[in-house]
Amino acid sequence: MTAYDITRRSRPADPDVVVVGAGLAGLAAARALIAAGLDVQVVEATERIGGRMADHQLDGYRLDHGGQLLNTDFPELIRRLDLDSLELRALAPGVQVHSAGRRYRTVGPQPPAIRQATARAPLGGSLDKARLGSALSRLAATPVPRLLARPETTTARALSERGLSPRMVDGFLRPLLTALLSDPALGTSSRVADLVLRGYARGRLCLPAAGTAAVPGRLADALPPGTVRLGVRVTSIGAGGVLTEEHGRIGARAVLLATDARSAAELLPGLRLPDFHPVTTYYHSTAGSPLAEAVLLLDAERPSGAAPVSHSLVLSEVHPSYAPAGRSLVATTVLGRRSFDAGGPAGLEPAVRARLTELYGVSAREWEFLSVRHLPDAVPAMPPPHNFRRPVRVLAGLYVCGDHRDTSSAQGALLSGRRAAQAVLRDLGMAGDAGSREAREAA
């Protein structure tokens, strides 16, 4: 038996803690609670773990939900997961930007690469290149508390007020941040953008060789067999337990709500419901590769057509297991809230395909359209003022975690799970030395 193959088994004895939701936050919390010696049940409404960090197989292609990217600089990823077992595959340093009808390679993520890449980046004048290179180098070396003490505004406003030229902003920073924040209007807090850029400057964008789902998979592998019950939907919660559709009431000393923000607000009326950034991802396959490199291709233009593309990536260049032999898998992201016609998101595919021809500089006419995924609530919005540590303790016995409590990312979800577990341990009088140290790190 694995940690999570026990769908619809009969109702278990009441555990110490019920965790609602088997996404990254719930799994990270369960791990910390079990490590402290508690008996934990994770109940998950769907038939799989991972929540938004999942993938599905289609005819030999691996379609990650939304072409998600990790960063080797995510502190919680480094702390909580054995990165070797994840077999992370880094994208090529820097990004390719498509602007004014041509494509160019620009600033790489690590300080040496920054200096090298900025020397040949055809953006703006030499003053711009020097400014960008040194700004990213400074950002990489700036301690997080100092970044968080900067005045806070929207990312769009910060970009226009920091003395960088419009070409530098529009030709690099804006498309990069749009892609990394899933926010085409750049209404995200400038502090979040600073942290994201800092991570970009220090780490490498990467994906597990086995796909996005490997991240929750590795977390769940470390749980005792039978910890996660799939196909169990919680319908109401309280400090003493939960009600489920499948097993009636499960009592517990503590309940930890680790669902997405919308489900959390439904189960816990009064909890703040954020806005969301939708993400729509188109998957195409083609013989050969349109770009023989795993590099993020950013669309810096705002075409007036119906489907402005944010970014695209040849996933099979990250790892060959994303596509059958001899084929390539291209994932292309369209951002922003839009109303689809009767054809749904697939109705935009011809416009996306036309743009891909321009972006990659090769005809996409013969590419095979595999699938499209539209997630209206993909990423909780983080406008200013952004609270990086929303409370995770509702009352003694009832806790809440998820990316909506910290930052809208794998890093935020993992950290919120750990913070919530610490709050449970403190209330149960179990936060010993190790717990206190963890609590300080999570604070």
- Tell me the C-alpha to C-alpha distance, in Å, between residue 356 and each of 229, 297, 300, 313, 364: 42, 10, 13, 11, 6
Binding positions for ligand FAD, 145-204, rule CB under 6 A? none
d(C-alpha 209, C-alpha 331), whole Å: 16
Candidates 3, 19, 23, 158: give the one binding ligand FAD (CB under 6 A). Answer: 23
Handedness of CA 133, 137, 142, 148 (dihedral sign): positive
Round to whole Å and give the CA distance between 174 and 128: 15
**Distance between CA atoms of residues 402 and 390, nearest Å:** 10
| Residue 129 or 418 with smaller CB distance to ligand FAD | 418
Residue 329 interacts with ligand FAD (CB under 6 A): yes or no: no
Who contacts 141 (Cβ-Cβ below 8 Å, separation ≥6)?
Answer: none
8 A C-beta contact, residue 33 and residue 17: yes
Nearer to ligand FAD, 41 or 285 (CB): 41
Q: Select the residue interacting with ligand FAD from 413, 415, 424, 431 (CB under 6 A).
A: 413
User: At closest approach, how far in Å is the CB of 93 from ligand FAD?
Assistant: 17
**Residue 371's beta-bridge partner residues?**
283
Question: Which among 8, 26, 7 has a CA at the least distance from the CA of 403?
Answer: 26
Q: Residue 168 or residue 296: which is nearer to ligand FAD going by CB?
A: 296
Query: Binder to ligand FAD among 41, 68, 99, 285 (CB under 6 A)?
Result: 68
Smallest gap from Cβ 259 to ligand FAD, in A, equals 4
In angstroms, rounded to a whole number, what is the distance separating the alpha carbons of residues 84 and 81? 9
Give the shortest CB-291-to-ligand FAD separation in angstroms. 19
Q: Is 29 in the site for ligand FAD (CB under 6 A)?
A: no
**Count of CB atoms situated within 10 Å of the CB of 96:** 19
Q: Closer to ligand FAD by CB, 18 or 123: give it.
A: 18
Distance, C-alpha 383 to centroid of its chain: 17
Beta strands in 271-314 (DSSP E): 276-287, 296-299, 309-314
Q: Are 386 and 189 spatial neighbours (Cβ–Cβ below 8 Å)?
A: yes
Those residues whose C-beta lies under 8 Å from the C-beta of residue 197, and which sit 6 or more positions away, are 136, 139, 173, 176, 177
According to CB under 6 A, which one of 51, 93, 133, 217 is a site residue for ligand FAD?
Answer: 51
- Burial category of 378 from C-beta neighbours within 10 Å (exposed 0-12, middle 13-18, buried 19 and up): buried
Q: Per-residue x/- mask for ligand FAD, residues 365 to 404, rule CB under 6 A? A: ----------x--xx----------------------xx-
Name the residue nearer to ligand FAD (CB basis): 220 or 431: 220
Q: Please state the closest distance from residue 22 (CB atom) to ligand FAD, in A.
A: 5
Single out the residue of 7, 46, 137, 153 in contact with ligand FAD (rule: CB under 6 A): 46
Choice from 20, 164, 195, 315 touching ligand FAD (CB under 6 A): 20
CA end-to-end span of the chain, whole Å? Answer: 36
**254: amino acid identity, one letter:** A
Question: Which 3 state secondary structure label does DSSP give 155?
Answer: helix
Nearer to ligand FAD, 168 or 442 (CB): 442
Q: Which amino acid is at 379?
A: V
Residue placing its CB nearer to ligand FAD in the complex, 156 or 296? 296
The 199-238 site mask, x for binding ligand FAD (CB under 6 A), equals ----------------------------------xx----
Distance of closest approach, residue 23 Cβ to ligand FAD, in angstroms: 2
Residue 134: C-alpha distances to residues 130, 168, 170, 433 (Å): 6, 13, 18, 41
Measured from the CB atom, the residue of 68 and 118 that comes closer to ligand FAD is: 68
d(CA 159, CA 97): 18
Per DSSP, 379 falls in state: E
Q: Which stretch binds ligand FAD (CB under 6 A): 14-22, 248-256, 322-330, 431-439?
A: 14-22
Q: Is residue 3 a contact point for ligand FAD (CB under 6 A)?
A: no
With respect to ligand FAD, which residue has the nearer C-beta, 123 or 298?
298
Asked if 76 touches ligand FAD (CB under 6 A), the answer is: no
How many CB atoms lie under 10 A from the CB of residue 54? 21
410 contacts ligand FAD (rule: CB under 6 A): yes
The pattern of x and - marking residues 259 through 278 that bind ligand FAD according to CB under 6 A reads: xx--x---------------
Q: Which residues of the chain form contacts with ligand FAD (CB under 6 A)?
A: 20-26, 43-46, 51-53, 65-66, 68-69, 233-234, 258-260, 263, 279, 375, 378-379, 402-403, 408-410, 412-413
